[in-house]
Structure 1
Amino acid sequence: MKLKEPAIKAGVSNRHIHLSAEDIELLFGKGHQLTPIKDLGQPGQFACDEKVIIVGPKGSLTGIRVLGPARKATQIEVSRTDAFMLGIKPPIKDSGDHENTVGLTVVGPRGTIVLKSGVMLAKRHIHMTPEDSLVYGVKDKDIVMVYCKGDGTRKTIFDDVLIRVHPTYALEFHVDVDEANAAILNNNDPVYIIEEL
């Protein structure tokens, strides 16, 4: 197996919600502004102090972290394990693609919203700049395989990994908690695009 250098750091994504400006006000009150508490790996993205409850047909999950800044449309990213607990069957989607996604109820301290769509399992992907794409010999929307050693006991190859290229991105491989746990993969662990098997 031949791997492309240099290594790419992993970012493990827990369940979270992105809110539209309208939904921020519905959930937290008119004029409410999100409260950043931690910068995330991608420039301009941040975790917020605000949290909500999400409710599905079979159960609910509390303490769902809001990520900022506000987006055009509200989006919720969960793991498959979360989906079982909620009683929903969200599809695997690229962020922002809400076609054929499912909905649920979101409860905030000042209000409740009922989403008809926007809940998904996030497609695993790599963020990179155009300069990075030249280094790795890939382009936006390419699909690659990624090798991760983890702690050495569960070496894993992730297939069907989407390449996302934009000047504002930082180089990072994103998977959800279920995928990371299966591979014993932690934040900032090195992973590699596979050049050839």
Structure 2
Amino acid sequence: MNEEQLRQLIRKIIAEESGNSNVIPIGVSNHHVHVTEEDFNILFPGQKMTSKAPLKQPGEFASEQVVTVVGPRGTIERVRILGPCRAHSQVELARSEGRKIGVNVPIRMSGDLAGTPTVILRTKDGEVEVQGTIAAKRHIHMSNKDAARLGVKKGDAVKVAIESDQRRTIYDDVIVRPDEKFVLEMHIDTDEANAANVGKDTVAYLVKED
């Protein structure tokens, strides 16, 4: 059991002991890149994507490979590729990071890439142009059983409260994403996490509205 899995287990035990069935673990999503197999082969010729660490969602992992994201006014170094490969390459940044490199990053759900800005991904061996730069809209992964327990369904926009040290933040318009393989976790980006003063053991609570 790695450190992140241990923290998640502790959060689950606390939630069960407190009797609060609305507790949702928080995953803070740092900038990262998803790539197609074709783009990966251009950036890392002759290599295979190798796992550095598993992510909470089954089958997903942070790879050993990193790239430089190049915008009109700057770069972001060592942006990690998440695996496995996807059907379309996608770059996920916080909006504050987009401003630093001259990119007006829209807030979108993953895969909703129509009309999104283009950046360059660069390594020492190659570069590719990717049309698909977004700030991921906050959302909650959950299993179908979790969705039934929480009384929500796919595509619902819910309200979530985050109780952190010296700050209480309520995020509205959080999108529900259930799937049989998903593990319960709310995803927010680094801008949102900083605004809510999220720490490593901070959890969220689904706000039930009358």
Q: TM-score, normalised by structure 1?
A: 0.94
Instruction: Calculate percent identity across the aligned residue pairs.
Output: 39
Contact 1:90-1:101 at 8 Å conserved across structures: yes
Mapping of 1:75-90 within 5 angstroms?
75-90=90-105
Letter in 2 for 1:12: V
Kindly provide the CA deviation profile for residues 52-93 of structure 1, in whole angstroms up to 9, marking residues without a partner as x. 001101100001011101001100100011011110112111
Change (3 A) 1:187 1:77: farther
Query: Bigger relative contact order, structure 1 or 2, given CA contacts below 8 A and separation 6+?
Result: 1
Mapping of 1:156-167 within 5 angstroms?
156-167=169-180
Mapping of 1:68-147 within 5 angstroms?
68-115=83-130, 117-147=131-161
Change (3 A) 1:188 1:164: farther
Kindly provide the CA deviation profile for residues 31-63 of structure 1, in whole angstroms up to 9, marking residues without a partner as x. x21110101111111001100001101100001
Contact 2:22-2:206 at 8 Å conserved across structures: no
Count the aligned residue pairs. Answer: 191
The reply to whether residue 26 of structure 1 matches residue 39 of structure 2 is no
The reply to whether residue 185 of structure 1 matches residue 198 of structure 2 is yes
Partner in structure 1 of residue 187 of structure 2 = 174
Alpha-carbon distance in 2 for matches of 1:186, 1:86: 27
Q: TM-score, normalised by structure 2?
A: 0.88
- Give the drift of 1:5: 2.1
For structure 1, which runs of at least 5 residues remain unmatched after alignment?
none
Q: Which one has a larger percent helix, Structure 1 or Structure 2? A: 2
Partner in structure 2 of residue 17 of structure 1 = 33
Alpha-carbon distance in 2 for matches of 1:114, 1:93: 20
Kindly provide the CA deviation profile for residues 20-41 of structure 1, in whole angstroms up to 9, marking residues without a partner as x. 10000010004x2111010111
Letter in 1 for 2:38: E
Contact 1:52-1:107 at 8 Å conserved across structures: yes
Contact 1:7-1:190 at 8 Å conserved across structures: yes
For structure 2, which runs of at least 5 residues remain unmatched after alignment?
1-19
Q: Which runs of 4+ in 1 moved over 3 A?
A: none
Alpha-carbon distance in 1 for matches of 2:124, 2:50: 15
- Give the drift of 1:186: 2.8
Residue 84 of structure 2 aligns to a residue in which SS?
A: strand
Alpha-carbon distance in 2 for matches of 1:100, 1:170: 31
Q: Which moved more, 1:172-181 or 1:93-102?
A: 93-102
Contact 2:141-2:182 at 8 Å conserved across structures: yes
